[in-house]
Amino acid sequence: MAITLNQSDAGFEERFATFLTTKREASPDVDSAVAAIIADVRARGDEALVGHTQKFDGADLRSLGIAVSKADIAKAYGEADAETIEALKFARERIRSHHQRQRPADDRYTDTAGVELGSLWTAVEAVGLYVPGGTASYPSSVLMNAIPAVVAGVERIVMVVPAPGGAINPLVLVAADLAGVSEIYRVGGAQAVAALAYGTESIRPVAKIVGPGNAYVAAAKRQVFGTVGIDMIAGPSEVLVVADADNDPDWIAADLLAQAEHDAAAQSILITDDPALASAVEGAVMRQLKSLPRAETAAASWRDFGAIILVETLDSAIPLINRIAAEHLELTIKDADAFLPHIRNAGAVFLGRHTPEVIGDYVGGSNHVLPTARSARFSSGLSVLDFMKRTSILKLGPEQLRALAPAAIALARAEGLEAHGRSVAIRLNI
Amino acid sequence: MAITLNQSDAGFEERFATFLTTKREASPDVDSAVAAIIADVRARGDEALVGHTQKFDGADLRSLGIAVSKADIAKAYGEADAETIEALKFARERIRSHHQRQRPADDRYTDTAGVELGSLWTAVEAVGLYVPGGTASYPSSVLMNAIPAVVAGVERIVMVVPAPGGAINPLVLVAADLAGVSEIYRVGGAQAVAALAYGTESIRPVAKIVGPGNAYVAAAKRQVFGTVGIDMIAGPSEVLVVADADNDPDWIAADLLAQAEHDAAAQSILITDDPALASAVEGAVMRQLKSLPRAETAAASWRDFGAIILVETLDSAIPLINRIAAEHLELTIKDADAFLPHIRNAGAVFLGRHTPEVIGDYVGGSNHVLPTARSARFSSGLSVLDFMKRTSILKLGPEQLRALAPAAIALARAEGLEAHGRSVAIRLNI
């Protein structure tokens, strides 16, 4: 049973505020263990990768090789189901086509003072992509992380993926190949992050590392940040479904459970103005749970973090929706388009009754790497911009320098920076 | 004396690699002190702000007030020099006009399958702006941090600035008022960052915190990251001047010293293909140093971190320039525009002999908050985008859902996520 919050109850605001700040994940303190692994990889390179991989993944890189070979990839195609390969290709084309629209345009112009200004975009030269092993080794995530980098123009996309017991999910290798990943190494954990940041004999360093991982991977990314760039640290997934009375409770329940099956720390929330729908959805969740292979995970998520919020009107839900700032927001209501301009904070919005969030996970075309844990208040999903950077340009001639000099010199002197003033004045003999 | 590296010497590559990775800043371990301050502000709110401010800044907020009032700002205008106020207004207009070009456009479209997609940009609702006290309390930085937020459409821009002994630089208050800052509080350090992230009785929380600060401020920003967004952690400033033979050594020396006077950990680098220019610049630096008010700081920076790199040809400097990935890059060479396309990594580029970097610090119009410590390899200067976030949009009708369903269901099943498949299938009775 998820909790129910009723907007018309006294004490709602306090309960809602508590709900908002509930932590869903323990953060085990692995910082010192991770620091030791990173130091070891910096000191011993490949030898350290071999040692840690033997210990954590039970895989012998001396015989398997650190690098995944072309033959390994060919073998993976042989092992993968043909229908799934076709589905990956279908997804790839849709993701690529959407992300191509995100390429930023350079801007170079001359202003009324004759000063030339500009913003020029360039791709990051080399990017590392972390892919988890085991059950969370998702080929769709490989597409979602690699394709924006390819579209940005990144030359080297370096994937690392642990091979527990020596095995890598063949679909992950196929997805990497289809997406355009340039190099793949069978290492994981903090040791893989260290190798990407500092390099070893086998793995040349990259400039930025993206992709999800466990607590060790997240801590390692935090520790190497500065030496390389990192993406956001992803938390457990979440969905907020906003539904009016005119909905099939089974559809809503299916959407809530799709999120809940990811992880016991995932969160599914329903906001509705119809108490009858709320009860019907609760019943449908319980019924559908019974036939789910991942029933245990989904049940734990729904029990511990699921919520049904009853509101008086959908309009009165708007401030709640913006405070929740959900990773995924479904608007399964009469006129979703008219409601949309009120949405201020959300990673992705799914409009109408025929846009289940799952479409966005795989084949919608937009990215499924989205801000979690209310971070949609200040950050965005993964995009081509995450793999590019902007250089600003200034160009003055003598006339422009003369025009701008007095203000620049005045500000430099006001800030006590005499050498700043001189670097302008010396060019004008003033 | 700065070090000199000569590209034609044996051992150059090794020396250059060591030079690149030299740390210029000690990072004192203040994490536990900062964690205690943050916990105290969360527990005791304003009372903690008053206590820490008394201790660290020697200022009594009980009598001064936590908030800076309209009367305080009016008083600051009275204390500020009229010419400097005019210079701030001149800078504001140029910065605003450049940043207005950075506003991203929403993108909403229907693809060939009839699927509606989109990317919608919204401003962050509330932003905190940290401004250091003391000698590093720069009005120009207030403009550079606040104006992009104003242009983005941020409603609440909340400035915090310590008042050592009760005093705040009047120009900082004037700059804040001119830029459009909405609230100002006279608190600093980790306690100010904690107040911005979690709120107190006087200070409502924000969603993102930007602005430079000392080791305590940087550690506090790292610790509250996740609860709020943060900008990059700025390191000491740096300039790379690339000069051909046809340069006045005094101009180059002035540019190198403008950077060096910031901080003993600042870095000034000259790359040239002309040994005679290199010697002449070295001499000019020594001469100019003598008449600088901040000679001690500038001399320490030049001695400890300054460098002259002699190259055989300017073309052979390109890989070095891109590896250095300087915050500021001056191309004071014959055809700077033709050289520009080779530049891959730089925060800002200043083209030609009449564009000293200092113009970009104040009145060029582009932002002076730029990536330091080689992070231009993976990040960009501050822009309007840092104060906005993108929400992706998907909308399918029954027909589009039918078209996309088979691939989505195939991928969900391949990933072992049965509830994902069901949330699509249930809508199509498949």
pLDDT tens-place string over residues A162-199? 999 999 999 999 999 999 999 999 999 999 999 999 99
Residue A429 is predicted with a pLDDT of: 85
Active-site residue identified among A328, A330, A357, A368: A328
pLDDT computed for residue A232 by the predictor: 85
Kindly state whether A4 is in contact with chain B, defined as any CB-CB distance less than 8 angstroms: no
B328, B330, B357, B368: the catalytic one is B328
Nearest to B426 among A250, A363, A397 (CB): A250
**Nearest chain B alpha carbon to A419:** B258
Looking at the complex, does the CB of residue B340 fall below 8 Å from at least one CB of chain A? yes
Q: Tell me the mean pLDDT in the region B164-190.
A: 97
The CA distances from residue B123 to A125, A240, A279, A346, B299, in Å, are 30, 21, 37, 12, 43
For the cut 80, the answer to whether the pLDDT of residue B301 exceeds it is yes
Test B391 with A116 for CB contact under 8 angstroms: no
The answer to whether the CB of B301 falls within 8 A of the CB of B264 is yes
Query: Is the separation of the CB atoms in A210 and A382 below 8 Å?
Result: yes
**CB contact A350 to B (< 8 Å):** yes
Q: Which of B355, B377, B426 sits opposite A207 (nearest CB)?
A: B377
The whole-angstrom distance between residue B156's C-alpha and the CA centroid of its chain comes to 20
Q: Does A35 lie at the interface with B, CB-CB under 8 angstroms?
A: no
State the CB neighbour count (10 A cutoff) for residue B22.
11
pLDDT (tens digit per residue) in B352-367: 999 999 999 999 999 9
Tell me if residue B108 falls in helix, strand or coil: strand
B327 is catalytic: yes
- The band of B1, judged by pLDDT with boundaries at 50, 70 and 90, is confident
- The pLDDT, as a whole number, for residue A430 is 80
pLDDT at residue A37, rounded to an integer: 98
Q: Do B125 and A344 touch (CB under 8 A)?
A: yes
For A392, the closest chain B residue by CA position comes to: B348
Q: Does B354 touch chain A (CB under 8 A)?
A: yes
Angle at B24 between CA B23 and CA B29, to 5 degrees: 80
Instruction: Identify the pLDDT of residue B74.
Output: 98
- Looking only at the bridges linking them, the beta strands covering A116-123 and A107-110 are antiparallel
CB distance B351–A395 less than 8 Å?
Answer: yes
> Residue A417: is its pLDDT beyond 80?
yes
pLDDT given for residue B27 in this prediction = 76
- Which is nearest to A394 in space by CA: B251, B370, B236, B139? B370
Q: How many residues does chain A have?
A: 430
Q: Considering chain A, what is the average pLDDT of its residues? A: 96
Tell whether B300 lies on the interface with A, counting CB pairs under 8 A. Answer: no
Question: Edge to edge, what strands does the sheet with A238-243 contain?
Answer: A3-6, A307-310, A267-272, A238-243, A328-332, A348-351, B388-395, B116-123, B107-110
| Residues B192-222: tens digit of each pLDDT | 999 999 999 999 999 999 999 999 999 999 8
Residue B276: partners with Cβ closer than 8 Å, 6 or more residues away: B245
Among B124, B254, B366, the residue with its CB nearest the CB of A394 is B366
Which chain B residue has its CA at the smallest distance from A412's CA?
B362
B328 is catalytic: yes
Confidence of residue A56 (pLDDT cuts 50, 70, 90): very high
How far apart CA B298 and CA B257 sit, in angstroms, is 6
B293 contacts A140? CB cut-off 8 A: no
Q: For residue B390, what is the DSSP state?
A: E
- DSSP string over A140-157: HHHHHHHHHHHHHT-SEE
Query: In this structure, are strands B183-185 and B267-272 parallel, antiparallel, or unpaired?
Result: unpaired
Of A327, A128, A109, A132, nearest to A236 by C-alpha is A327
Task: Report all structural domains of chain B as residue ranges with CATH numbers, in order of start.
Answer: 3-25+235-364 (3.40.50.1980), 31-230 (3.40.50.1980), 396-425 (1.20.5.1300)
Cβ atoms of B303 and B2 closer than 8 Å: yes
A103 CB neighbour count, 10 Å cutoff: 16
DSSP B110: E
Whether B33 has its CB under 8 Å from any CB of chain A: the answer is: no
Q: Consult the annotation and say whether A420 binds a ligand.
A: yes
| Contact in structure between B377 and B226 (CB atoms under 8 Å) | no
Contacts of B375 in chain A (CB under 8 A): 226, 229
- Which pLDDT score is estimated for A24? 86
Q: How many contiguous H segments (helices) and E segments (strands) does chain A have?
A: 18, 14
Is residue A7 within 8 Å of A309, Cβ to Cβ? yes
